[in-house]
Amino acid sequence: MTFRLRFRDGPRRRGWPEMSVGRLTVVIMNESRLSDLDFTVVDIETTGWAPDEASITEIGAVRVRAGRVVAEFASLVNPGTPVPEPITELTGISDQMLVSAPPVAEVLPGLLAFARGSVLAAHNAPFDLGFLTAACAGMDLAWPGFEVLDTVRLARHLMATPEEVPDRKLATLARFFATPVRPSHRALDDARSTAAVLGRLLARLADREAVGTLAELDAWLAARDAALAEALAAAEIG
């Protein structure tokens, strides 16, 4: 096994999960205060864009508590197929780097254990979750019932375009918020950058809206999504 698990505060604290997944990890946390929740911010690199045609080459994640990164998880993943040259040019991940990397079946249980009991967050979460859930299905591993927060969706309703930013890409938001780590198309760097962006977006949310719990955030996002869809539909008719 070659994945790295690092805790920012020295030895693993009591109560942190062991690096194995023996049961479904469904956590009921809708009524919990956002400030009391742990977030696991995850990013993946892949050989392509669709999980039915491509595979994971790298997984990175950071665990955030009270706005501070307390642990990190990172591993290269052998996809079992060559990495296309354009992907290597984009990410810097080559076939040579992956020869001795573990397959996803050895890495994914560790990630799920690392994230147990937290809200899963990602930038463009449907992409990352699509590959992760497909990998679970391919190894007959049940996908835990994570609550999921997409920072793209959150930014859509908290960042003005084009007044503040031209788009909601991770690099754009990281530049706007001057995050300590900038995205690099490597999983751990991108997870670190997303975690910083998430913190700034949640701070904006707290300043502007009466949203204190995950349930309230879900309702707020649904209402904003509906209002945006209505406005777009009206614009098309007009």
Neighbours of 174 (CB within 10 A): 22
pLDDT attached to residue 7:
64
Query: What residue type is 69 in one-letter code?
Result: V
Query: 3-class SS at 1?
Result: coil
Q: What is the pTM of this model?
A: 0.88
Of the candidates 168, 189, 186, the one whose C-alpha atom is nearest the C-alpha of residue 77 is: 186
Helix (H, G, I), strand (E, B) or coil at 211: coil
Alpha helices in 51-150 (DSSP H): 85-91, 95-98, 104-115, 125-138
Residue found by looking up tokens 């062991």 in the block: 18
Q: Where are the beta strands (DSSP E) in 47-170?
A: 56-65, 68-76, 119-122, 148-150
Q: Which CATH superfamily is domain 4-237 in?
A: Ribonuclease H-like superfamily/Ribonuclease H (3.30.420.10)
Confidence at residue 46, expressed as pLDDT on a 0 to 100 scale = 98
Q: pLDDT tens digits, the chain, 238 residues: what are they?
A: 456 666 665 444 333 332 222 233 334 467 889 999 999 999 999 999 999 999 999 999 999 999 999 999 999 999 999 999 999 999 999 999 999 999 999 999 999 999 999 999 999 999 999 999 999 999 999 999 899 999 999 999 999 999 999 999 999 999 999 999 999 999 999 999 999 999 999 999 999 998 999 999 999 999 999 999 999 999 888 6
